[in-house]
Amino acid sequence: MLKPYITAIFTFFLVFAGFASAEHNGAHAAESKDIKTEIKSYINHHLQDSHDFNLFELNGSHVGFPLPVILWDNGLHVFLSSAFHHGETVAESNGNYYTLFHNKVYRTDAAGAITLDDHQHPTNVAPLDFSITKNVFMILVVALLMLWMFGSMSRSYKSGKGLPQGVGRFLEPIILYIRDDIAIPNIGEKHYKKFMSYLLTVFFFIWIVNLFGLTPLGVNVTNNIAITFCLAILTYLITTFSAKKDYWMHIFWMPGVPAPMKLVLAPIELLGTFIKPFSLMIRLYANITAGHIVMMSIIGLMFIFKNWIGSSLSFFLAFVLSILELLVAALQAYVFTMLSALYFGSAVEEHHHEEAHH
């Protein structure tokens, strides 16, 4: 029973230590800056993706490892992100020069010049960027972790013991819950099996990356709207291509409704098919992003108050919120999975009705 609380305490102190370290190391170089600006800058940095995996800073030095930068700019350009020196220098590749500006790669000259338009947007050429960023790296790590977990569980079943061993003992009740309380009630006994692999994958993926986001690694995969968009579009495509004739009939020519009203309802129902995945995307993105911003802001208040009353109160609020975020990490995975199952169920539902009965 104490394990969730121990995890929450450990996670909170790691986050606090990372914040305090960054504040301490940057204090001597930015004493004239407003502390609120410093905190806002740190929060923005914590939420952003990056081309290198920076763990923390120690005595002004970045501790981490570089990631591959893969660009297409009149040809393929591949080099390590260490060539940028954390955005401080220009990287050269096959005669072209590239620089980082707000974590985006732009082509430049040897001096690293960036020209801005009237809206302060760069006018430099932005090559197609296929780089392995921090978020992409963590997606690959989570994918390998899930393959190991489910592979280990599968091998324990094949051993003939009939019971899972190791990590399978933790996974089995969760899998059974998703099957019995999410998939079957929303999709039905007849069709739920073909959707189980997706539901399990999306649940554990969202849950695990959300938990990683609570660590000081700064890996906030689901607060990147591109990631939540891809998850939502997968749900939309599976729903669309699995849908039966009755599903489309209820959208374009709803039974039991007067013909003039059908013409009015059809575009509204069609629009609803796009709103559903859009709501999935925004809900996951907004909840995770808001949670990170609030937690980091409360931690930042300790450096603003600088007294034992205000700092102690901020510490207590941040600790409580860190425990709440553990719940939110699982809750958002559950909501996304449950709504996906609900959409799949409406797509494959078989309606037995007569027009005259409505």
Q: How many residues does the chain have?
A: 358
Residues 195, 262: one domain? yes
Q: Return the bridge partners of 100, or none.
A: 105
* In a domain? residue 62: no
Residues 156, 263: one domain? yes
Domain final residue pick, 78, 107, 131:
131
Residues 177, 314: one domain? yes
Domain final residue pick, 110, 131, 152:
131
Residues 232, 283: one domain? yes
Q: How far is residue 133's CA from residue 68's CA, in Å, rounded to a whole number?
A: 8
* In a domain? residue 38: no
* In a domain? residue 170: yes
Q: How far is residue 320's CA from residue 295's CA, in Å, rounded to a whole number?
A: 10
Residue 12 neighbours by CB distance under 10 Å:
22
With contact defined as beta carbons under 8 Å apart, do 184 and 190 qualify? no
CA atoms within 13 Å, Cβ hemisphere of 218: 23
Residues 226, 339: one domain? yes
Helix (H) or strand (E) holding 38: helix 35-47
CA nearest neighbour of 216 among 35, 45, 25: 45
Residues 102, 148: one domain? no
What pLDDT, on a 0 to 100 scale, did the predictor assign at position 142? 94
Residues 150, 211: one domain? yes
* In a domain? residue 292: yes
pLDDT in 10s for each residue of the chain, 358 residues: 434 433 444 344 434 444 444 344 444 344 435 777 777 777 777 777 888 887 766 666 777 888 999 999 989 999 998 888 877 889 998 889 999 888 889 999 888 888 888 888 888 889 999 999 999 999 999 999 999 999 988 888 877 666 777 888 889 999 999 999 999 999 989 899 999 999 999 999 999 999 998 887 778 899 889 999 999 999 999 999 998 888 888 788 777 777 788 787 888 888 888 999 999 999 999 999 888 888 888 888 877 777 777 778 888 888 888 889 999 999 999 999 999 999 999 988 876 554 444 4
What pLDDT, on a 0 to 100 scale, did the predictor assign at position 63? 75
Quote the number of domains for the chain.
Answer: 2
Domain final residue pick, 87, 104, 131:
131
* In a domain? residue 10: no
Using CB atoms within 10 A of its CB, is residue 35 exposed (0-12), middle (13-18) or buried (19+)? middle
* In a domain? residue 111: yes
Residues 73, 165: one domain? no
Residues 92, 173: one domain? no
CA-CA-CA-CA dihedral for 6, 12, 16, 19, to nearest 10: 130
Q: How far is residue 227's CA from residue 307's CA, in Å, rounded to a whole number?
A: 40
Q: What residue type is assigned to position 51 of the chain?
A: H
Residues 155, 261: one domain? yes
Is the dihedral angle over the CA atoms 113, 115, 120, 125 positive or is it negative? Answer: negative
Residues 149, 244: one domain? yes
Residue numbers of the domain that contains 183: 136-357
Residues 107, 237: one domain? no
* In a domain? residue 89: yes
* In a domain? residue 305: yes
